[in-house]
Structure 1
Amino acid sequence: MARANDEVEALLREYADLIRITGGDAFKARAYEKAARAIGGHHEDVSRLDDKELRKIPDVGKSVAAKVAEYLRTGSVPALEELRARIPAGVREMTAIPTLGPKRAMMLYEELHIASVRELADAIHQERLRGLPGFGTRTEENILHGIGLLQSSAGRVPLDVATEVAEDVVAELSALPGCERCTYAGSLRRMRETVGDVDVLVAAERSAPFMEAFVRMPVTAEVVVRGAKKTSIRTAKGLQVDLRVVPPDSWGAALQYFTGSKAHNIRVRELAVHHGLKLSEYGLFDTATGERVVSRTEEEVYARLGLPWIPPTLREDRGEIQAGLAGELPEPLALRALRGDLHTHTDLTDGLAGLEEMAAAAAARGYAYYAVTDHAPNLYMQRMTDAKILAQREQVRRLDRSHQGMRILHGTELNIGPDGDVDWPDEFLAGFDLCVASIHSHFNQDRDALTRRLVRAAEHPYVNIIGHPTTRLLGRRPGVDADFDEVFAACARTGTALEVNAQPDRLDLGDELILRARRHGVRFAVDSDAHSTVHLDFMRYGVGTAQRGRLTEDDVVNAWPLTRLRRFLRKGRRTHP
C-alpha cells in the first residue's frame, strides 16, 4: 500500500507553498519544506510512530510533529485548511507553473485579479502583464512555456507513483483463487517517464471475482466503468486504473497488445500481415483459415513473426523491429548488472542518513562498491567546508570493506558555475576517488553560454560524471537550452560520463537524449542521487530509462568491475599527474 510518509510529505510541501503565497515567514516555509523531505525519505512508516518517535526524524520539531499526528488522526490539518480557504484553487494551480512561483502568482492575483492558468495565458496574449515589475517579454515567454509543460503533464503521474499503485493492485489480485497470471502493462510496463493511466491484466477463466475485488480495493475512490471484460476505477489522487481479465490461453497476445506502444503494435501487425497472419489481443491467427496459431506467451507471438522477444522498454517504434529482424537488438542493461551507485548524499549536507547507514543499505543491495558524493562548498546553503569533507574522507577509509567487503569511494558533487568552473582547486580535487559535477543555478542562461558551461565542465580533468545533465524536473522545470550534441561530443572526447539520474522527478538524461549521446560514443552512469536509504530503490527507474535509451552493460560505467571503473576514473590523472 502507499506509504503514509508520501501523503504527509505532500501535505507539508503544500503548507510550505501556501505560507510563501500568503507572504508568510520564509524561514517557516523552509522549515516545513525540510520536514516534508525528511519524512518522505524516512525509512519507517510515520503512521506507526508516536510523538516522541516523530520528533527523532531530522528537521521534525514539535509543531510539525503535532500537525503530522493531527493529520494521521483526523485526515486534515486546520492550519492548512485555513490557508487553502484564503487562496483560490486556481491561484494554487498557477504556482505549479514552472518558472512562475508562489510570489509572482500572488502578485498576479492581487494586481490583476488573475485566478487561473487559463486567465494567465489570456492576460499574456493581451499583454496585460507588461506594466508589472519583473514581467518582461522573456518572462512572458518562459511562463507560456511553463503553462505548456503543466498542461502536457496534466492527468499524468510520476513513474514511481504509478508503479506503487500498480504493484499494490497486482499483489491483491494475484492472491485471489483462480488467478493464473497477473501483471501491469501499458506505458508503465514500458517505463515511460510519466503515466496517464495504469493497465492491469489478469489471466483467469472467470472474470467476475476479480472485477468484484477490484472495485472494493482500498485504492478505489471511484468506479468509472464496470463490465465483464474491463473495469476502470480512479484512485483518490486521480489516477485511473483499468483491469482486463483475459482467458489464460490468450495471455501472451493480450500482454503484447496492451503493453503497446500503439506505433510498435502497428509495426508488429504489419509484419503479421506480411506473413499471412492477423494479430489481435486474442492471438495470432492464420488469415486464410482463421485458425489461431499462437497466443499463450509473448515469446511465442514474436518468434512466429521471426523476432526475438522485444523488451517492453524498447517498444516505441524506434527501429526495434528492424534490429530484431536483423539480429542486432541489444541486450539491455539489467538492474542486477549494476555493481554500485556513484551519486549519493548523506546528512553531512542535504541527505537524511549518516554515512554508515547509507553504506549498510547499499551493501544490502549486493553492491561491490558505493560512492558518497556530498555537495561541495559553492552550493552555499549546504555549508560544506574543507575540514568537513576531509573528516568524511577519514570516515570513508575506516568504513571501507566493513560492510560485506563493499568498497566505499569518496567523491563529491561539484557545482558547475555560470562560467563552467567548479568548486575547489585541482590539487584538492585530486584527493577524491571521483567527482560528479552538476548545474544547480543560472538555468536561464542563453544557449551558447549553457553549452560552453557544460563543455568546460566535461573538459575539467577531475570531473568524471556530469550529473542530471539537463537539470529538468518533470512537470515543474524544463531542461536547460544547450547544444547537447556539442556537449555529448565533448564528453566522448574527454572520457566524461553522463548521468542517468534515477530520481523519478528527474530521469535525466531522458531516453531520447541517451539515444543521441550514445551515437557519440559517450559512457553513462546510472545513479540514484539518493538522499536517504529508501531513495536507493530509485535505481529501478534509472535502469528503465537507460533501457529505453538502449544502454547495455558496456555503456554504463557502474556496471563495470571496480578495476575497470577505477581506470575510467583516472581521467584527470592522465593529464595532471
Structure 2
Amino acid sequence: MARSNDEVAALLQEYADLISITGGDAFKARVYEKAARSVGGHHADVATLDLKGLQEIPNVGKSIAQKVREYLDSGSVAAVEELRAKIPDGVRRLTAIPTLGPKKAMVVYEELGVSSVDELAAAIRDERLRDLKGFGPRTEENILHGIELLRSSGGRVRIDAAMELAEDIVGALSAVTGCERCAYAGSLRRMRETIGDIDILAAAQDSAPLMKAFTGLPYVTEVIGQGGTKTSVRTAKGLNVDLRVVPPDAWGAALQYFTGSKAHNIRTREIAVHQKLKLSEYGLFDAGSGEKIVSGTEEEVYARLGLPWIPPPLREDRGEIEAGLRDELPELVTEADLRGDLHTHTDLTDGLAPLEEMAEAAAARGYAYYAITDHAPDLAMQRMTDERMLAQRERVHELDGTYPTKGRRGGLRLLHGTELNIGPEGEVDWPDDFLAGFDLCVASVHSHFRQSREQLTRRLVRACENPYVNVIGHPTTRLIGRRPGIDADLDAVFAACARTGTALEINAHPDRLDLRDEDILRARRHGVRFAVNSDAHAVPHLANMRYGIGTAQRGWLTADDVINTWPERRLRSFLRKGR
C-alpha cells in the first residue's frame, strides 16, 4: 500500500479543522496545518520513524510527533477523539463542502439547525443565511458552488489515490502462482483525473487462487460479490475494486474491452459488425461461424479491425478512430521525453525542502535542466524580498552544473525563475529591470477568482503580453473537487498565448491537473505550446509528473508541443520571447 504519510497528514489536518470548529487557538490550528503539509511531503515513510526521526520533519515538534506515533501504534489519537466527540455529526457532514469553512459550518448548525448538505441548499434557496453575521449573497453563491462540486464528484477519487491502490493490488496478484498477466484497466488506464471504481484484469488458467488472494488483501473490508470470473470488493479507502480473470489467450481482447470508454467501445464494435465480426472481452470472432480470429494482444485486435494500436488515454471517442483509420494518430509525449521541470518551490517560500535537496532529487530523475520558481513578493505570506531572491539566485549559480544526472552527459543545469502573481489588473510582481534577471517567469492567478469574465480574460491576456512572462501557471486555478476554474474566455487566452509565445502550464499536481484535457485540445488548435510541470513543494511531488503527462496525452500532445522536452538551447531561445 501507499506510505502512511498521506493518512497521517489527513489526521493532522482534521485535528486542525476540529480546533477551528471548536473555537480553539487559531495559532495552534495553523501549527497542525503546517505539520500536515510537512508530513504529506516528507520523503521518508513516517511509519518507519521514531520520535526523534519524526521531529526532524519541518514543522513537527515533540507534541505532534508523539501524536503521530500514538496514531501509528494504536490507530487513534486521544486528543483527536476528544474533539471529534464535541462536534455534532451534522457539522462534520457540512465541512465536506469545499467552500464552507469549519467555523461557518458550526454557525449554520447552531443558528439554523442545518445538519446536511440538502438542508443547507434549501436554506440558501430560502435566503435564510443572509441574516447570519458574516453571510450574504456572495457567501451563498460560493457555498452553492461548493455543493455543486461535492455532488458532481459522485464518490470519485483523485487519480493518485486510485493509482497507488491499483498498483499495490497488481503487484500482490502478479505474485500469485498461476497468474500470467495482471494490469489495471478502465478509466485509470485512460488516465482520467478522477476515478470511480478500479478495474483490475488478470489472466490465468485457474481463477480460484487469484480470487482468494484478492479477497484476502489486508485493506479489503467487504466482499460485495464473488464468482469464477469476477469478484468485487470494497476497500478501507472506500474505493470499490473489480477483479476479472480471463483465460491467457483472451488477454488482449479483454484488456481492450475493459480499458476503452463506453463510446470508444461502441465504435470498435460497430467496425467489427461492418466486417461481419463480433468483438467481446473474449476475442474477435467470425459472426457467422463463431470462430475466434484474434484475442491474444490489443495490437492484434485493433489491427484486424483496420486500426493501429490506440493509446489508452485517447480511447474516448474524440476522433481517435477517424485519426487511426487515416493513420494520423499522434506520437504522444511520454514521461521519458521530459528533460526538465519548470515550476518548483523550495523552503525559501512555501516549499518543504531546501534548494539543494530539490536539485539533487531532480538530478536523480535524469533531468537535464531544472527551474526553481519560488513565489514573488505580491503573495505577502511568503515574505519574499529582493534581497532574499537575489541571494537565492547567487546560490543557484553556484550549484549550476554540480549535480551529476543519471543517463546524461554533464551536470544538471539550474535555471533561476520565479512564480509571479497575476494581479487583479494583470500586473505582476517586480518591474521589468528586475524580471530581466530571471531565466524564466511563471505567472499565476492566486486571488480575486470571482472577477467578471471580461476582467479575468483581460487579466490573463495582459500577463501573456508581458515580455518576461514565459508560462501561465495552473491557468484556470481549479482545485479538483474543491474549487471550480475561473470564468474566463479561454479561447481568447489561448490566442494570446499563441500570439505572444507564452506557454500554458499543465500542472501535474493531482489536485489540479490544470489545464484539463478538454482545454488542452482547444488550446492546441490555436498553436499554443505547453509546459508539463510538477509545481513541487517537496521532493515526493516531483513524481507527480506522471499525472501531468497522462493529462497531456489525453490532450493529444506530442513531445514537440511540450517545451520542457526540448534541448536546453531551444528552450532558452523560446524563453527569450523574441526580446
Q: How would you bin the TM-score normalised by the shorter chain?
A: over 0.9
CA distance in 1, matches of 2:91, 2:237: 20
Measured after TM superposition, the shift of residue 235 of structure 1 is: 1.1
Distance (Å, rounded) in 1 between the aligned partners of 2:30 and 2:446: 18
What is residue 470 of structure 1 aligned with on the other side? 476
Q: Hey, what's the Cα distance between the residues in 2 that align with 1:399 and 1:89?
A: 53
Q: How far does the alpha carbon of each residue in 1:523-557 deviate from its partner, in whole angstroms, 9 at most, with x for none?
A: 00000011111110000000000000011111100
**CA offset digits 1:190-217 (Å, max 9, x no partner):** 0001000110010000000000001111
Aligned match for 2:520, one of 489, 511, 514: 514
Alignment of 1:146-161 (within 5 A): 146-161=146-161
Judge conservation of contact 1:98–1:478 (CA < 8 Å) in 2: no
**1:407 aligns with one of 405, 413, 416:** 413
Question: Does residue 390 of structure 2 align to residue 384 of structure 1?
Answer: no
Alignment check: 8 A CA contact 1:90 1:117 kept: no
- State the partner residue of 1:546: 552
Choose from 440, 446, 454 the match for 1:440.
Answer: 446
The yes-or-no answer on 1:69 pairing with 2:73 is no
How many aligned residue pairs are there?
573
For residues 352-386 of structure 1, give each alpha carbon's deviation from its aligned partner in whole angstroms, at most 9, with x where no partner exists. 11111111111111111000101111111111111
SS at match of 1:393: helix
Residues 1:24 and 1:89: Cα distance change in structure 2 (over 3 Å): same
Counterparts of 1:409-424 in structure 2, within 5 Å, are 409-424=415-430
1:570 aligns with 2:576: yes
In 2, Cα distance between equivalents of 1:250 and 1:89 = 49
TM-fit CA distance, 1:64:
0.9
**The residue matched to 2:131 in structure 1 has which SS?**
coil
Equivalent position amino acid for 1:324 in 2: G
Q: Which residue of 1 aligns with 2:485?
A: 479
Q: Check if 1:452 corresponds to 2:462.
A: no
Uncovered stretches (5+) of structure 2, i.e. residues with no partner: 405-410
CA distance in 2, matches of 1:167, 1:296: 23
1:100-139 pair list within 5 angstroms: 100-139=100-139
Amino acid at match of 2:47: S
CA-to-partner distance for each residue in 1:24-63, whole Å, 9 max, x for gaps? Answer: 2221111111100101111111111111111110000122
Residues 96, 476 of structure 1: 8 Å contact kept: no
What residue number does 2:324 align with?
324
Question: By how many angstroms is 1:65 displaced?
Answer: 0.8
What are the residue-to-residue correspondences of 1:83-482 with 2, within 5 Å? 83-404=83-404, 405-482=411-488
CA distance in 1, matches of 2:93, 2:447: 24
The more displaced of 77-86 and 160-169 is 77-86
Deviation, structure 1 residue 273: 0.8
Q: Which moved more, 1:75-84 or 1:313-322?
A: 75-84
Using the TM superposition, name which of 148-157 and 530-539 deviates more: 148-157
CA displacement at 1:20 relative to structure 2 = 1.6
Q: 2:223 & 2:290 partners in 1: Cα distance?
A: 37
TM-superposed deviation, 1:154: 3.2
Unpaired runs of 5+ residues, structure 1, are none
Residue of structure 1 in register with 2:407 after alignment: none
Identity, in percent, stands at 74
Q: CA deviation at 1:107?
A: 1.3
What secondary structure is seen at the aligned counterpart in 1 of 2:367? coil
Amino acid at match of 1:533: V
TM-score, with structure 1 as normaliser? 0.98
Please say if 1:559 is aligned against 2:565.
yes
Is residue 15 of structure 2 the alignment partner of residue 15 of structure 1?
A: yes
How far is 1:219 from its partner? 2.1
How far is the alpha carbon of 1:299 from its aligned partner? 0.4
- TM-score w.r.t. length of structure 2: 0.98
Say which SS state the counterpart of residue 130 (structure 1) adopts.
helix
- Distance in 2 (CA, whole Å) between partners of 1:138 and 1:49 is 46
